[in-house]
Amino acid sequence: MYDEFRIPGTEFVEGEMLLATFVYCSRAADGVDDPEVARIVEFAQSHNRARGITGMLVYESGVFFQWVEGPVAQVQRLMTSLYADARHYDVVALDHSEERRERLYPDWEMEQVGADDLHAVLQDALATAEDQSIVAALNRILAQLASGPWVSLRQT
């Protein structure tokens, strides 16, 4: 039962730590292209290692989708930097949480990956969004996705 040292359900499991997660999508500013995204990924890889941040980035048709995880203070600093970054706008936070768990991307300081399910993820976010500015931004992001090569992704 309860004892003076532990609360049930709070036991430490090997490999788990308190991680902050930040997941967002945004629209790329004019002038952001594939070579610029490659530079962003390269910069993130070199800086995230020292900060204990891991994650993945999807970029297609002028839309970013990113998942980052790491120590709470480091992810907070990164979030501040991301919101201030002029290379994108219409930033919509899809998740910001803290929990004890294993990393989803333990060996990825930042990897650029494909975008197979991005449209469905954004549609789910739109269905649950209550803030009208977020609804408007998600609609603009989905419209931009619909105008580019990702159109075929949601038809499978």
- What's the pLDDT tens digit per position in 55-67? 889 998 899 999 9
- Residue 3 scores a pLDDT above 70: no
Q: How far is CA 75 from the centre of its chain?
A: 11
- Residue 152 scores a pLDDT above 60: no
Rounded to whole angstroms, the Cα distance separating 29 from 116 reads 23
Question: What pTM did the predictor assign?
Answer: 0.72
The per-residue pLDDT for range 18-38, each reduced to its tens digit, is 999 999 999 999 999 999 999
Would you list the domain boundaries of the chain?
Answer: 17-114
- Residue 15 scores a pLDDT above 70: no
Rounded to whole angstroms, the Cα distance separating 76 from 87 reads 19
Rounded to whole angstroms, the Cα distance separating 9 from 41 reads 37
Q: Residue 87 burial (CB < 10 Å; 0-12/13-18/19+)?
A: middle
- Domain at 17-114, CATH from 3.30.950.10, 3.40.640.10, 3.30.420.40, 3.30.70.100: 3.30.70.100
Find the mean pLDDT for residues 131-151.
77
Q: What is the pLDDT of residue 117?
A: 67
The per-residue pLDDT for range 101-136, each reduced to its tens digit, is 888 878 888 988 777 667 777 787 788 777 787 788
CA proximity to 22, closest of 85, 99, 90, 75: 75
Find the mean pLDDT for residues 58-85.
94
Q: What is the pLDDT of residue 5?
A: 37
